[in-house]
Amino acid sequence: PPALQVKKPYSIGGPFYMVEGTTDPGCTVFINDEEVDVESNGHFKKLISFNKVGRNSVVAKAVNAAGKQTIQSETVLVEE
């Protein structure tokens, strides 16, 4: 399965959070089921927003050309 490292999502104001990490070059990455652009070196980042206050989960999934996948989940606490 592909490598996948996801940093703790960080707030950039209000309900908006930046999620970034690295995977093997050539993999496809999805964050909360949305495809993310992966740079040639395997780095990716995505701006996401949460609709609810409290605990929200961020699920990152890397899929390689053979269809093998790695999933990593983080929890984000959104405050009012």
Render pLDDT for 12-21 as a digit per residue (tens, 0 to 9).
988 899 999 9
Distance CA(50)–CA(78), nearest Å, equals: 8
Q: Which amino acid is at 54?
A: G
Beta carbons within 8 Å of 66's beta carbon, 6+ residues apart: none
Across the range 56-66, mean pLDDT stands at: 97
Q: Is the pLDDT of residue 37 over 90?
A: yes
pLDDT above 90 for 33: yes
Query: What's residue 22's pLDDT?
Result: 98
Contacts of 50 (CB under 8 A, 6+ apart): 15, 17, 56, 76, 78
| Confidence (pTM) | 0.92
Report pLDDT for 32. 96
Q: How much is the mean pLDDT over the chain?
A: 95
The token pair at 47 is 């701006």
Residue 57 gets which letter from DSSP? E
